[in-house]
Amino acid sequence: MKKTGIPTPKTETAEAAPPIPTAKAPAASAPVLPPQPLEELMARAAKADEHWDRLLRTSADFENFKKRAARERVEAAQSANAALLQKLLPVLDHFEMAQTAAQNAKNDKLASLQAGIAMIQQQIKGILAETGLEEIDAAGKPFDPMLHEAVSQLESNDVPEGCVLQQIRKGYKLRDRLLRPAAVVVAKKPSAPPAT
């Protein structure tokens, strides 16, 4: 054979295609599962419903727990504030007594003392009001044992029976919670003069 400069074409070998799967008939030897009885399926469905209900109840209980825990945190903070405020109330009472004494004095030198006491009192009242403290104004109002503490009774023609005649000490509430009841004198009907 002579070699010529013309290359001889190479023949490409065809790749073998994968065999096409053919559908096989089910083997006669494979076990066929018997259908499950209806009662067993109903029992499983009932159990699934029971688990679903338990999940819903548990979720609701968890939500209620979160709300209760948040409410308890707020109440704990309010209780801590209540203890502090109860300690500050006598200080506020003493400032008010000092201011009353300064107002009753006739000396001009006491005017600056009176102004200073008034400023301190307003500052303390402002701080306490920011924390939610409210004064209970009892003067002239009907006696309420939930808000007032009766220290005595006096006969009066000017104030109806069962109303507060005089407030001796102010009462205070922290939001809706009573910190200290107002000490009051309650009016009663004057006794009838003895018949002669």
The candidate with the shortest Cα–Cα distance to 148, out of 132, 129, 169, 134, is: 169
Please give the domain boundaries of the chain with CATH numbers for all domains: 39-131 (3.90.20), 134-196 (2.30.22.10)
As a whole number, mean pLDDT of residues 44-52 equals 92
Looking at the chain, the whole-number percentage of residues with pLDDT higher than 90 is 25
Give per-residue pLDDT as tens, 112-154: 777 777 888 888 888 888 888 899 888 889 999 999 999 999 8
Q: What is the pTM of this model?
A: 0.49
For 76-110, the pLDDT digits (tens) are 877 777 877 787 788 888 878 777 777 777 666 67
Of 73, 78, 77, 182, which is closest to residue 133 (Cα–Cα)? Answer: 78
CB 168 within 8 A of CB 158: no
The amino acid that residue 129 corresponds to is A
